Amino acid sequence: ELGKRLDRPVVLVGLMGVGKSTVGRRLAKRLGLSFVDSDSAIEDAAGYSPAEMFERFGEKDFRDGERRLVARLVEGDVRIIATGGGAYVDPSTRQLLNERAITVWLDAPVDVLAERTSRRDTRAQLRNGDPKCTLEKLSKERRPSYEKAHIHVKSGEGAHKEVVEAIIEALE
Ligand code: S3P
C-alpha cells in the first residue's frame, strides 16, 4: 500500500487558491496518512492568522516564523503537508523540502486562482489592488521556484478528485 511505502512526507506547494489544503486533506485520507497545513499550524502556534501576522508584524516576521515551522513539520512523521504559497519560494526552505520530502507543485491558470481566492478573503496580499494582477505577478515571480518541485500536477478547472488521483499515480 502506497501510504505505508512512503518514507518521507509529501509537501504540496503552489500559489494561493490552487487547492493545496483541499487536495492535501483528500490525499491524506486516501493514503491513510495525517494532514497538516502550515498556515493553520502557524495560527495555532502564534495565535494569529497569516493575514493578521502580515498586518501586525509585516511579511518578514511571518516568513521567519513560517521558515522555522515548515522545517519542523518536515522533520516529523510521514504525512501530507500543505504549505502557504510563499514558503517554497524561500531558497533554504526549498532546498530542505526537496531533500527531506517529496515536493508536489499544483499549477493552475491565474484565472482559476483569481476565481477561487475571490470566494474567501483570507489573503493579506490580495487585499490591496486588483487580485488578478497580483496573482499574475506572483505567478511570474514564483514559477521558476515552483518548477523545482519533484512532481508537477495541473490543477485547472477539473475536480480536486482528479488532482488527487494524478498525485497518487505520480507517487506510485
Ligand atoms: C501566501 C499564501 C498564503 C499565506 C500567506 C502568504 C503567499 O497561503 O501563507 O497569505 O505568499 O503566497 P495559501 O497559499 O494557503 O493561501
Angle between helices 59-75 and 50-57 (to 10 degrees): 140
Residues spanned by the domain of 23: 2-171
Q: How far apart are CA 123 and CA 150, in angstroms?
A: 27
Q: What are phi and psi of 148, to 5 degrees?
A: -85, 0
Angle between helices 110-118 and 131-146 (to 10 degrees): 120
**Ligand 1 pocket test, candidate residues 22, 36, 54, 123, most atoms within 8 A of CB:** 123
Ligand 1, atom 9, lies closest to the CA of 84
pLDDT at 119 (0 to 100): 83
> pLDDT tens for residues 109-160?
999 999 999 887 788 889 888 999 999 999 999 999 999 999 999 998 778 9
pLDDT at 50 (0 to 100): 94
Residue 137 marked as a ligand binder: no
pLDDT at 35 (0 to 100): 98
Q: How many CB atoms lie within 10 A of CB 56?
A: 11
Q: What is the CATH number of the domain that holds 26?
A: 3.40.50.300
Interface pTM, i.e. ipTM: 0.97
If one counts the domains in the chain, the total is: 1
Residue 70 CA to ligand 1 center (angstroms) comes to 13
> pLDDT tens for residues 25-45?
999 999 999 999 999 999 999
Percentage of the residues of the chain whose pLDDT score is greater than 90: 89
Cell output for 99: 531533500
